[in-house]
Amino acid sequence: MSEIHYRQADVDGFKISYREAGTPGKPKLLLLHGFPSSSHMFRDLIPLLQDRFHIVAPDLPGFGQSDMPSRDRFTYSFERIADIIDRFTELVGFDRFAIYVFDYGAPTGFRIAVKHPERITAIISQNGNAYVEGLSDGWNPIQAYWQEPSAANREALRGFLAADAVRWQYTHGVPDEAQVSPDGIALDNYYLARDGAHDIQLDLFLDYQSNVALYPTFQAYFRKHRPRFLAVWGKHDPFFLPPGAEAYKRDIPEAQVSFLDTGHFALETHAREIADAIRAFFAE
């Protein structure tokens, strides 16, 4: 087994922290985390795949150990995040690669795929949505903010950033909550407690509407380029519903879709099963 290295890249003046494992020359796999996490969420998956892939897992801008500039110095949008991660892949030599997308990682990775379809060898979506039928009623307060971006609607969303709400995201839908390590929850809450972090996340809540607006663009990419596609989905996810996973087969009939008896953060309880599914998928 090769070691995991913890590195930093200077992306045109923006520091991106990332984990790297595996052997250069093997198939490249880019892991993209979601809200409110970091590359730490892949801590169990990476050792299970590093013999098969050259893996890179960055912390998205404003997350984890990557730079989190103030809002007056940086516009927190998914377009900006995708631009930086796109440039990051070039700097670390990821010219052709598969992507594993989760939550916020999906609109980030799908933007890169639309821009550079020739670079994408496959897509693994773990609760990474691209269809309106995948959005649960849990999005209603955020959608109200999209429709009326008032101070009151913004303040109403701060509850999503509370420590108990983060824990709930990890444990909801998990048959045995004792399987969920407290470490990821504690780390996410640590990052969210930094000065300015809440308002950055509220900016991204508002900008998430840009991702929904791009769903038809993402779907057109799927239909035109038919990337090899695997969806592994925690079926009790309170935010992204199973119909969102099934919808991929509408645009990519060959897509493989499987469901796991867990919630949003499926890797917390099913890293081994997800790794086995990925290995089997690439062995075909």
Per-residue pLDDT of the chain (284 residues; tens, 9 = 90+): 469 999 999 999 999 999 999 999 999 999 999 999 999 999 999 999 999 999 999 999 999 999 999 999 999 999 999 999 999 999 999 999 999 999 999 999 999 999 999 999 999 999 999 999 999 999 999 999 999 999 999 999 999 999 999 999 999 999 999 999 999 999 999 999 999 999 999 999 999 999 999 999 999 999 999 999 999 999 999 999 999 999 999 999 999 999 999 999 999 999 999 999 999 999 98
pTM: 0.97
Tokens of residue 248, six digits? 């991929």
Cα 52 to chain centroid, rounded: 21
* Furthest-apart CA atoms within the chain: distance in Å: 52
Q: Please tell me which residue in 33, 40, 236, 264 is annotated as part of the active site.
A: 264
- Cα 84 to Cα 77: distance, rounded to the nearest angstrom: 11
Q: Collect all residues with Cβ–Cβ distance below 8 Å to 169 and sequence separation of at least 6.
A: 238, 263, 264, 265
For 70, 190, 202, 203, 245, the CA distances from 195, given in Å and listed in that order, are: 9, 11, 13, 15, 36
Contact 17, 62 (CB under 8 A): no
- Cα 230 to Cα 207: distance, rounded to the nearest angstrom: 27
Q: What is the model's pLDDT at position 1? A: 46
Q: Pairing state of beta strands 97-101 and 54-58?
A: unpaired
**DSSP label at residue 59:** P
Name the one residue in this structure whose structure tokens are 């407290």.
182
> 241 phi and psi, to 5 degrees?
-80, 155
Question: What does the chain come to in residues?
Answer: 284
Tokens of residue 123, six digits? 């897509």
Is 54 known to be catalytic? Answer: no
How many CA atoms are closer than 13 Å to the CA of 26, on its beta-carbon side? 16
> 135 phi and psi, to 5 degrees?
-85, 125
- Cα 47 to Cα 243: distance, rounded to the nearest angstrom: 31
Domain boundaries, the chain: 5-136+210-283
Is the domain spanning 5-136+210-283 CATH 3.40.50.1820? The answer is yes
